[in-house]
């Protein structure tokens, strides 16, 4: 898979590889039969306190879905668990993290997607979580 870098002013942003665009096209068409457009790869810093439920990527109410491509997260404060969900359902099971431990997930296809106009939420129990998450927004049109 080959990534390209787009430069806008002084900012360099990786564009979505064609393989991922093709996969998202197949997934969206299979699920909804709708036309769509995808954003470039986006990233968001994660800084979630222990024992909280935090909206880490808010909903935009723009008819989009977030396809989560991966993350690098570390735990601090204490050992604990965390999980991702959107506004309506869990997207992962509980993942254990030892103090100063964590996880790195990245693949050739999206890990999961959030529902249309739904936020990505991270719930923590015991541990605080810091890191970064990468995603693509897919805009659905009927």
Residue boundaries of the structural domains of the chain? 41-136
Query: What does the pLDDT read at residue 8?
Result: 45
Distance CA 27, CA 128 (A): 33
> What is the DSSP secondary structure assignment for residue 16, as one 8-state letter?
P
**Amino acid 28: pLDDT:** 63
Query: Measured between alpha carbons, how far is 71 from 103 in angstroms, rounded to an integer?
Result: 8
Query: What is the rounded distance in angstroms from the CA atom of residue 142 to the CA atom of residue 132?
Result: 32
Q: What is the pLDDT tens value at each position of the chain, 142 positions in all? A: 444 445 445 544 556 677 777 776 676 666 555 555 667 788 999 999 999 999 999 988 888 889 999 999 999 999 999 999 999 999 999 999 999 999 999 877 889 999 999 999 999 999 999 999 999 888 876 5
pTM of the complete model beyond 0.85: no
What are 57's two structure tokens?
A: 């990527």
pLDDT at 23 (0 to 100)? 72
The pair phi, psi for residue 100, each rounded to 5°, is 65, 10
Instruction: Check if the beta carbon of residue 14 is closer than 8 Å to that of residue 5.
Output: yes
For domain 41-136, is the CATH number 1.10.3470? no
Instruction: Kindly list the distances between the CA atom of residue 123 and the CA atoms of 3, 104, 116, 129, in Å, as whole numbers in the listed order.
Output: 32, 17, 20, 9
pLDDT at residue 58 in the model: 92
- Distances in Å between the Cα of 6 and the Cα atoms of 45, 54, 108 are 21, 31, 20
């Amino acid at each position: 898979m080959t990534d390209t870098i787009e430069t806008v002013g002084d900012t360099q942003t990786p564009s979505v590889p064609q393989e991922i665009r093709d996969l998202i096209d197949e997934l969206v068409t299979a699920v909804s039969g709708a036309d769509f457009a995808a954003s470039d790869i986006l990233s968001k810093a994660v800084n979630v306190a222990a024992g909280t439920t935090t909206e880490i990527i808010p909903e935009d109410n723009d008819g989009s879905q977030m396809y989560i491509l991966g993350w690098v997260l570390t735990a601090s404060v204490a050992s604990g668990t965390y999980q991702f969900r959107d506004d309506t359902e869990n997207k992962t099971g509980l993942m254990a993290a030892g103090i100063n431990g964590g996880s790195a997930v990245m693949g050739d296809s999206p890990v999961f997607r959030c529902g249309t106009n739904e936020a990505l939420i991270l719930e923590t129990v015991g541990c605080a979580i810091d890191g970064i998450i990468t995603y693509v927004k897919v805009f659905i049109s009927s």
